[in-house]
Amino acid sequence: MEQLRSSEEFEALRQRLFSTIRPEVPTVVISAGTCGLASGAEKLIRTAQREILEKRLQEKIFLKVTGCHGFCEMEPSVLIEPQRTFYPDLDADGMERIIHALAEGKVVEDLLYVDKSTGQKIEKQDDIPFFRHQSRLLLAKNEKVDPLNMDDYIKNGGYSAFVNMLMNIRPDGVIDEVKRSGLRGRGGAGFPTGMKWEFLAKAANGRGKYIVCNADEGDPGAYMDRSLLEGNPHSIIEGMLIGAYATGTDSGVIYVRSEYPLAIKHLNAALKQARHAGLLGADILGAGFDFDISIVKGAGAFVCGEETALMRSIEGRMGEPRQRPPFPVEKGIHGKPTLINNVETWANIPVIMTTGAEKYAGTGNINAGTKIFSLVGKIKNTGLVEVPMGTPVKKVLYEIGGGQAGKTGIKAVQTGGPSGGCIPSSMFDMPISYESFAKAGSIIGSGGMIVMDENTCMIDVAKYFMNFLKDESCGKCFTCRKGTQRMHELLDDIASGRGTMEHLTLMEELAVVIKDTAMCGLGQTAPNPILSTLKYFRDEYIEHIEKKRCPAGVCKALIRFSVNYKCTGCGACVKACPENAIKGEKKQRHVIDPERCSRCGACRSVCKFDAIDVN
């Protein structure tokens, strides 16, 4: 990458790169984010490279390795551009066949995606329901950009928004554009981004302000930010450049958890390339604008996702929250004014500056823009989903997600991570917005969406998240430290058959106290799993308490396994039982010894005849 000293040099480079694009040559695009690599994408890459070289197809077939495309259920996958042919769940032999077919201009029919609902083969990615019902403003770039190649980012319009802004728009004009776009923080709180930028811009002038990218994504099941960092790191850098110019800031920090090695690798490469090109550092493009970004790796504490704890961690101190005010834009890192936005928020900024505030604002309904969710749990199509704000929850679950994965229907969806709430199926018509989720007793959070079916015990769910929150509490304030612990104990009593109706009253009283008195967002939202499950699934709590029964057959202390008349005596359950608690002759109905049974459910999971009852 050459050193760029002016906007003219950047434009000349962009034109040269654009002129090298050869759309007539098919490109094999391999999805190689963390999920793809874990599923075997490296074998596909090596196979494709070998076949292209050995068959001397370098001028007939291009190869591009990118980040995650979002359809994690179907990894490792391959997309053929510009035909948009999608091949899911491939192995090395399949990759070899695709290269040979592509050299002859053919499609490998038996490797195409098969719709689970209709059994129909679908060739084009854009026709697959999982993709067809999305609006991918951010994730679409993951398909087009090699995250280790800055030229690729520039070919696809990268840094053009920043260069145009630097030469033609005043800082206050940039802030006004962001405000008019209606963008709200995608980290969970939903605070208007433009307003936060305006606060920092009006803070004391001079060197020493900070802007921060919060990449400390700690919600179980959430990986939206990780995929953006892995697949398109330059979009975050460009967003931060625009934010730094608008607010008069010369220092940036990306705070990323150390459990994201691939994201860190790609970020380091992107920062190095941007510096070498003259897009970071002193006197950027000769415009007298100085700005650089450093990376700070977090140790994985959930509480460091809270902005004041995050700032202390950046300073090298223990990640503990502090009281607000003063707010970070008044007194942040090393006492300097500091602005913090999360990864998805920063990635939206170049989109806004390219498309314009009005077009971006018109994308969503109720709230502006799109939101990325990680759709996981008891759902057919797991992966990353990007939809306009205001989209009904039902559309995400059934049209994109494909509905329940098993035989039983969807019971609830948990949103917002451990601090979110559980939304029952009766409310799936609600639109995705900050206001509607808050009214329902949950939050959007960073974008986790965990689907639960009828075999899920809501007391067990609340207990799981409360266990997580009590372990992740920093312990600084008493109500959070002891309150989360006590609520977990009460849930454990109920799940173990020791609960009384007084437990429910006490939990609700504790929840209100913790929400009102905890110092930071972790403690203030910690009661949400309990309050939402009590609100919508109170009958399950009562059944656990009064009948000492778990309707979902999950809470071990309250269930008994037995074999019904459907048993064929196949012996599968005998082999699966780790306690040797199942006896019976072959082809005869078996019996479970309740004294030896550990209630692990292994027998139920292997039985093909639905012959195991949970009582």
Residue 458: CA atoms inside 13 Å, Cβ hemisphere, count? 27
One-letter amino acid at 223 equals Y
Choose the weakest-confidence range: 58-67, 170-179, 333-342, 597-606: 597-606
Is residue 179's pLDDT more than 80? yes
Does the CA dihedral 399-402-408-414 come out positive or negative? negative
pLDDT, one tens digit per residue, over 422-440 is 999 999 999 999 999 999 9
Q: What is the pLDDT of residue 305?
A: 87
Choose the weakest-confidence range: 153-157, 162-166, 187-191, 531-535: 187-191
Query: What is the token pair recorded at 315?
Result: 């300073």
Instruction: Give residues with Cβ within 8 angstroms of 370, minimum separation 6.
Output: 135, 136, 137, 138, 363, 364, 386, 387, 388, 389
- Average pLDDT rounded to a whole number, residues 385-405: 95
pLDDT, one tens digit per residue, over 483-523 is 999 999 999 999 999 999 999 999 999 999 999 999 888 88
Contact 112, 121 (CB under 8 A): yes
Is residue 206's pLDDT more than 60? no
Is residue 2's pLDDT more than 80? no
- Average pLDDT rounded to a whole number, residues 561-583: 93
H helix runs in 182-315, sequence order: 193-202, 224-231, 233-247, 261-277, 307-314
- Average pLDDT rounded to a whole number, residues 159-169: 96
Distance, in Å, from the CA atom of 333 to the CA atom of 42, rounded to the nearest integer, reads 40
The answer, yes or no, to whether the previous bond of 325 is cis (omega within 30 of 0) is yes
Is residue 608's pLDDT more than 70? yes
Q: What is the pLDDT of residue 263?
A: 96
How would DSSP label each residue in 594-612? Answer: TTT-----HHHHH-SS--E
Instruction: Give residues with Cβ within 8 angstroms of 93, minimum separation 6.
Output: none
- Average pLDDT rounded to a whole number, residues 89-109: 96
Q: What is the pLDDT of residue 499?
A: 94
pLDDT, one tens digit per residue, over 574-596 is 999 999 999 999 999 999 998 89
Q: What is the pLDDT of residue 486?
A: 95
- Average pLDDT rounded to a whole number, residues 524-551: 93
Contact 353, 161 (CB under 8 A): yes
Beta-bridge partners for 291: 281
pLDDT, one tens digit per residue, over 225-253 is 999 999 999 999 999 999 999 999 999 99
Q: What is the pLDDT of residue 116?
A: 81
